[in-house]
Structures are given as C-alpha cells and as structure tokens.
C-alpha cells in the first residue's frame, strides 16, 4: 500500500525550487578541504557561497546507488536499503531518559545506552540502534564510546551520528575491529554514519570534514539537517522541505565527488517551532506531513531514505504519545521509506523511554503490516469458497480456506496489546503502559546478547584509550 504526497506537477515544482536554491543561493562552509572538493568538480564560488550548477547536480544523482545492504555484526544482511521496508530505529542523541523504576526524568548515562541497546536487541520490530546521549562520557570521545557500547550490547546494525570530524578515526577503528578489518567493514558495513549540516544551508567545518572521511572510508553516509519551520527554515511547510532538500542534495553531490557510487541515505528531518513558547516541536501533524513530502523527493531521486516517525510532543508514554507516533510514522511509510526513526522517544526527541520503546515496537509492527498491503488473487478473492459455504449451508469457521489463511498470518496479532474479553482483562487490569514496563524489565532480566570476542573487546579499549590521549 503506497500513496504520494505531491502530485507530479507539485513534485517537479519542489525539485526545481531545490535546483534554484542550490544554483543561486548555494551553501557556506568553513572547510577549505570541502570547498576545494566542490570547486574542483564544477561548483562555483560567489562571495562566501558555493553554488551548484544543475549539470553538476544531475551528474552526481546518476551515480548514487539506488540500493545497498547494511549488516548485523555477525555479517548477516539486516537492512535492504532501497526496498522501502520501513525498518525502525531508535532515537539518537536524547540527553534525558525516563527512569524505568521510578518513572522520573533524569540525565542519560552510559549504563542507559547499554540497557537501551540490549532491549532493542530483543524487540522484533526495532531494527536499528541509535545512541542516547550519555552525560558521563568525555565529549572528545563520546561517539566512539557510544559506538563501542552499542556493539557490545546488540548484534543489530547501528545509525551513528558524527558530531565532529576529529573522532572519525577512532569510530572507524572500532567498527573495523568488530568487522575483522577495514576491508570487511566496507564490504559488510554494520552501520551508516550521518552528518548534520546546519540550517539554513551551512555545512560548517566538522560536518563537511566528516562527510569526506566517511565516504573515503567506504562507509554508507547519511545526511541529516534539521531545519525548523519559522526559525531556521521558512514558515511554510513546503518551503522548509525545499530548503531541506537542497541541504541534503548538497551533501549527496559532494559524496559522489569524493567517490562515484558511494552509498548515501537521505535523512529528512523538517521540524517546527511553537511560536508561543519557542519550543522546537517534533509533533504531529506537520512532522509526519513534512516527512512524507521529503520522502517522495528521495524516491524521485532513487536514493534510500530515512525519516523521523516515532516522535511527538507527549512527555510520558500514553495516549498522546501513541497517536502522535503512529501518525508521524505511518505517513512516510505509506509514501515509501527505508527506515523510520526516533522509536522510544518522548518530549520532541529530548527524552528516551524504555516503556515507549516497547510500545513503538508494537506500532512498528502495525506500520509494517499496513504497507504490506494485500495480495489479490483467485485464492484470496475466495469466490469459490463463498459459493461452497452458501451452497452447503455451512460456515466459514470450519472451512479449510479459513484455516489456511489464519495460519498464513492474514490477521495481525499485537505483540503486546490486549484483545481478551473485558472480564478476562479486568481480572488483571493491566494497562498497555504497565505491560510495556513489565516487558522491558523482563528483557533486562533475561535477555543475553552474544558477546564480542575478548580480543575484539581489548582492541576497542585500546582505540578508546588512544583517542582519549589524543
């Protein structure tokens, strides 16, 4: 099941606006290395801006892979990027967490990242782990430590956000140690690494330098600016989408200048501001609508994509967070995206919550069932089955056709939600939030992640120590 957000004419208008933004406004960067790359490959310098001629953009778009794979740390294909399967990843960079025992909001610590990774490892419909923001880790090695902690607590693939270019050597070193060397890391990447340019149209120093390092290392690159409607982007949704698209395409073009055919992920994140309070919102409906719009553009370019979906303004796991997350996730999934992000998030992606993560696992199963659609065939239309039941004055309950499709999974079964009679439910009286909390605690008490080899753990420790000394 798929739908389009824009008409064909509207889509071309947004694309042409993107070309105009890149061709006449361009980007700014503080990286001489990045600027040199762009200028030597057909871009133009006008004042302190770098402009992208249409021919340069079109040339780059022809070489971006439409599909590639990402693997788990045992070398098995885990993500088929480009197949629009709406995988789910957890929220990245949340500085706070809802304590599972007390329900109180507090700072995130490295222990929380380990637990979040371990719970993710056990949840069937959460496919990718992103790091919370641990406050007890030195800033100069934070992403390296986050990467190591995730690798030690899940076999699932990762989304890594490069906060600065100076850590790239140690991050890549940890990934190579787990993969079994740099060649193996490139052949079966266990992560994609994202850079976040600054809206509006600013690539700064570290995002630009990290982009080059990631592509040169042969790792899949994600590009994830986050313009805010009315603040760092136009107040109109479509205007922010066009600006955002230009910001992402600038990185896509640069990646192909570094290495033609380099795998890239477009990661649109158009947010908006509450004009009464100044709060940055990741809520519905604008978040879901903007994601759907941006994802249609990535499909037009035939570039794999991710979008935020499991996000909202709710402060606790409950009714509001449930409807916000489902709405925001379902829209880009129906347009067709590869990964939907922010599972387990609350309060506009400022807090993580294990209870919400378990609930989002349930919502992800609904989303994936929805985009699966239905098969229309002689067997599923069941005309002869209807005839048989009517003519025999029988019923569908005893018909073999019913057993066949029930066993084939025709009906979605909630991993957690309650469908019992009221009397059976009332005997226990457990809410969905209670059940999610119980599930999270059970996983933490019983789930064991396959450990890394001792030699690999020692090499990771050595890399972290060396990074701290530098």
**Segment 76-102 mean pLDDT:** 97
pLDDT over threshold 80, residue 93: yes
Query: Is the pTM above the cut of 0.85?
Result: yes
Contacts of 58 by beta carbon, 8 Å cutoff, 6+ apart: none
Banded model confidence at residue 163, pLDDT cuts 50, 70, 90: confident
pLDDT band at 165 (very low <50, low <70, confident <90, very high): confident
Reported in sequence order, the residue ranges of 148-190 that DSSP labels E, i.e. its strands, are 158-161
- Cβ neighbors of 431 (< 8 A, separation 6 or more) are none
Please state the rounded mean pLDDT for residues 233-244.
97
**Segment 169-195, tens digit of pLDDT:** 999 999 999 999 999 999 999 999 999
Average pLDDT value for residue range 112-122: 98
What is the C-alpha to C-alpha distance for residues 85 and 327, in angstroms, rounded to an integer? 17
pLDDT at 133: 95
- Given a contact cutoff of 8 angstroms between Cβ atoms, the answer to whether 154 and 126 are in contact is no
**Angle made by CA atoms 456, 92, 120, in degrees to the nearest 5:** 60
Sequence-ordered list of residues with C-beta below 8 angstroms from that of 330, at least 6 positions apart, any chain: 288, 309, 367, 370
Ranges 24-28, 136-140, 319-323: which has the least confidence: 136-140
How many Å apart are CA 458 and CA 48, to the nearest integer? Answer: 46
Q: Please give the average per-residue pLDDT across 39-49, as a whole number.
A: 97
pLDDT at 2 over 90: no
At residue 218's C-alpha, the angle toward residues 340 and 296, to 5°, is 30
- Contact in structure between 70 and 308 (CB atoms under 8 Å): no
Q: What are the Cα distances from residue 184, in Å, to 73, 189, 193, 208?
A: 11, 8, 16, 26
What pLDDT shows up at residue 257?
A: 98
What are the structural domains of the chain? 61-372 (3.20.20.480), 378-407 (no CATH)
How is the beta sheet containing 96-98 ordered, strand by strand? 105-107, 96-98, 351-353, 345-346
1: pLDDT strictly greater than 80: no
pLDDT band at 197; cut points 50, 70, 90: very high
Q: Where are the beta strands (DSSP E) in 65-104?
A: 68-71, 77-81, 87-90, 96-98
pLDDT value, residue 244: 96
Q: pLDDT for 385-395, tens place per residue?
A: 999 999 998 89
- The pLDDT, as a whole number, for residue 337 is 97
Cα(408)–Cα(403) distance, rounded to whole angstroms?
8
Q: Is the pLDDT of residue 81 over 80?
A: yes
The predicted model gives 357-363 an average pLDDT of 98
Q: Check: CB of residue 328 under 8 Å from CB of residue 343.
A: no
pLDDT over 90 percentage in the chain: 95
Extended beta strands in 238-376, E state? 264-266, 271-273, 280-281, 306-308, 339-343, 345-346, 351-353
Residues, the chain: 470
Whether the CB-CB separation of 133 and 93 falls below 8 Å is answered with: yes
Q: How far is residue 312 CA from its own chain's centroid?
A: 15
């Amino acid at each position: 099941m798929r739908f389009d957000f824009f008409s064909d004419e509207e889509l071309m208008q947004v694309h042409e606006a993107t070309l105009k933004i890149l061709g006449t406004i361009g980007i700014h960067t503080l990286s001489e290395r990045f600027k040199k790359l762009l200028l030597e490959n057909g871009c133009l310098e006008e004042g302190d801006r770098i402009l992208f001629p249409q021919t340069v953009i079109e040339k780059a778009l022809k070489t971006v892979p439409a599909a590639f794979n990402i693997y788990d740390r045992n070398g098995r294909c885990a993500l088929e990027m480009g197949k629009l399967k709406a995988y789910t990843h957890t929220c990245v960079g949340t500085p706070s967490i809802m304590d599972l025992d007390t329900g109180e909001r507090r700072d995130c610590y490295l222990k929380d990242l380990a637990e979040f990774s371990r719970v993710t490892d056990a949840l069937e419909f959460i496919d990718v782990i992103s790091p919370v923001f641990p406050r007890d880790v030195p800033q100069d090695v934070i992403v390296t430590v986050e990467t190591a902690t995730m690798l030690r607590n899940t076999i699932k693939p990762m989304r890594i956000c490069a906060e600065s270019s100076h850590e790239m050597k140690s991050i890549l070193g940890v990934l190579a140690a787990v993969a079994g060397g740099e060649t193996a890391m490139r052949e079966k990447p266990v992560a994609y690494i994202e850079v976040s340019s600054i809206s509006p149209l600013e690539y700064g120093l570290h995002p630009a330098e990290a982009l080059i390092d990631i592509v040169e290392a042969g790792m899949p690159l994600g590009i994830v600016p986050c313009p805010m409607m009315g603040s760092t982007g136009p107040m109109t949704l479509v205007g922010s989408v066009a600006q955002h698209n230009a910001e992402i395409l600038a990185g896509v073009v640069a990646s192909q200048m570094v290495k033609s055919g380099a795998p890239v992920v477009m990661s649109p994140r158009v947010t908006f501001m509450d004009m009464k309070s100044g709060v940055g919102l990741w809520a519905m409906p604008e978040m879901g609508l903007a994601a759907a719009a941006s994802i249609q553009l990535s499909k037009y370019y035939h570039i794999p994509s991710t979008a935020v979906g499991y996000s909202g303004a709710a402060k606790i796991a409950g009714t509001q967070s449930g409807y916000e997350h489902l709405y925001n996730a379902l829209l880009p999934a129906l347009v067709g995206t590869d990964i939907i992000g922010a599972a387990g998030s609350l309060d506009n992606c400022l807090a993580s919550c294990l209870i919400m993560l378990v609930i989002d696992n349930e919502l992800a199963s609904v989303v994936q069932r929805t985009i699966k659609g239905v098969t229309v065939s002689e067997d599923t239309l069941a005309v002869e089955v209807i005839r048989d039941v009517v003519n025999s004055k029988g019923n569908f309950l005893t018909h073999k056709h019913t057993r066949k499709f029930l066993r084939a999974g025709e009906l979605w079964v909630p991993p957690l939600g309650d469908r019992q009679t009221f009397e059976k439910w009332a005997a226990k009286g457990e809410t969905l939030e209670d059940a999610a909390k119980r599930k999270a605690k059970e996983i933490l008490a019983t789930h064991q992640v396959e450990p890394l080899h001792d030699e690999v753990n020692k090499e990771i420790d050595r890399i972290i120590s060396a990074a701290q000394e530098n």
